[in-house]
A and B are shown apart, each in its own frame.
Chain A
Amino acid sequence: MESMLHITTLHYLVLGAALFLLGVIGVLTRRNVVIVLMSIELILNAVNLNLVAFSRMWGGLHGQIFAIFVITDAAAEAAVGLGILIAFFRNKETVNIDEVNLLKW
């Protein structure tokens, strides 16, 4: 009970791991490209949570700076990913990720 009431770094890490798992399940099982991209955002957020928790643990700010860079990266990734999605939808008239099979043999 004592360990439940005292929030340590490990609590944040477990929360991050749970979010990461949800994102992985979304990426591996969903067929809708938009939801797959949202699951990738979940994964990036889990990483950010871990970075900020470690930053708090060591008392520095490097983790927070890195989290800001990861958010920048997520913005770039979302822009390019959604651009690809629009190009894909224009060609195939679908958002089903199983239809992305042009390079398959």
Chain B
Amino acid sequence: MAPVATPFFFYLFAAIMVIGGIMVITRKNPVHSALALIVTLLAQASVYLMLYAPFVAGVQIILYAGGIMVLFLFVIMLVSIDRSIRERQFNSQWVVGLIAATALGGLFIAVYTKGTNIFPEHALSIVESDNTQQVATMLYGQYMFPFEIASLLLLVAIIGAVVMAKKRI
């Protein structure tokens, strides 16, 4: 099925993502930042759907918007934010930080305006029906070893998080 009104939805979700990102880095209250980040992540899942990546979109919603953000909200509830809300929100090096970020933005603009012709005008047409099957076949076939390493990484992260957060081991 041909996609419908792709430019409209792309610009809509891009605007939602950028506005959400700006909200994340400007809000005083971390809970508001977390909610803005959730909006950004959901809009990004929609952009993944536009890129014919439904499995990544599902993982994004379940794992990022569902799992990681709940972790963030729990930690925000555990630490007391009353004092930090009343404090100054930006550190004393914020001018230098903005200058560095502007330089990085200039670099991006230079690279993307000079390198426009590297990217093909029309994307390849791919089969959109069996994305999840193909991802599973590749994960359990070609990418078996990285997959196992990822599970080891998660085990290490679980143990590390428990060791860090526990009062006395």
Chain A residues within an 8 Å CB radius of B50: 7
Binary CB contact string for chain B from 15 to 45 against chain A (1 if under 8 A, 0 otherwise): 0011001101101001001100100110010
Distance from B79 Cβ to chain A, minimum over Cβ atoms (Å): 5
Cβ-defined partner of B120 (8 Å) among A9, A45, A84, A86:
A9
Cβ-defined partner of A45 (8 Å) among B41, B80, B134, B167:
B41
Chain B residues within an 8 Å CB radius of A93: 80
Q: Which residue of chain B has the shortest Cβ distance to A98 in the bound complex?
A: B91
Bound form: Cα–Cα A35–B146 in Å: 30
Interface size of A by CB at 8 A reads: 75
Cβ-defined partner of A75 (8 Å) among B44, B68, B81, B116:
B68
Interface size of B by CB at 8 A reads: 87
Are A87 and B52 touching (Cβ within 8 A)?
A: no
Are A9 and B154 touching (Cβ within 8 A)?
A: no
Interface presence of B161 (CB below 8 A): yes
Q: How many A-B residue pairs have CB under 8 A?
A: 242
Distance from B145 Cβ to chain A, minimum over Cβ atoms (Å): 12
Bound form: Cα–Cα A28–B52 in Å: 34
Bound form: Cα–Cα A15–B159 in Å: 36
Are A24 and B112 touching (Cβ within 8 A)?
A: no
Distance from B31 Cβ to chain A, minimum over Cβ atoms (Å): 9
Kindly identify, within residues 87 to 105 of chain A, every residue whose CB is under 8 Å from any CB belonging to chain B.
87, 89-90, 93-98
Kindly identify, within residues 41 to 69 of chain B, every residue whose CB is under 8 Å from any CB belonging to chain A.
41, 44, 47-48, 50-53, 55-56, 59-60, 63-64, 67-68
Distance from B127 Cβ to chain A, minimum over Cβ atoms (Å): 10
Given A15-B17, A56-B53, A82-B72, decide whether A28 and B34 contact each other with a Cβ distance below 8 A. no
Are A82 and B124 touching (Cβ within 8 A)?
A: no
Chain B residues within an 8 Å CB radius of A73: 150, 153
Binary CB contact string for chain A from 67 to 82 against chain B (1 if under 8 A, 0 otherwise): 1110111111111101
Bound form: Cα–Cα A48–B45 in Å: 11
Cβ-defined partner of A52 (8 Å) among B21, B51, B79, B153:
B51
Are A65 and B71 touching (Cβ within 8 A)?
A: no
12 pairs, CB–CB < 8 Å, chain A vs chain B: A5-B7, A9-B120, A15-B18, A18-B18, A28-B96, A29-B93, A30-B90, A38-B24, A38-B37, A55-B51, A83-B161, A86-B164
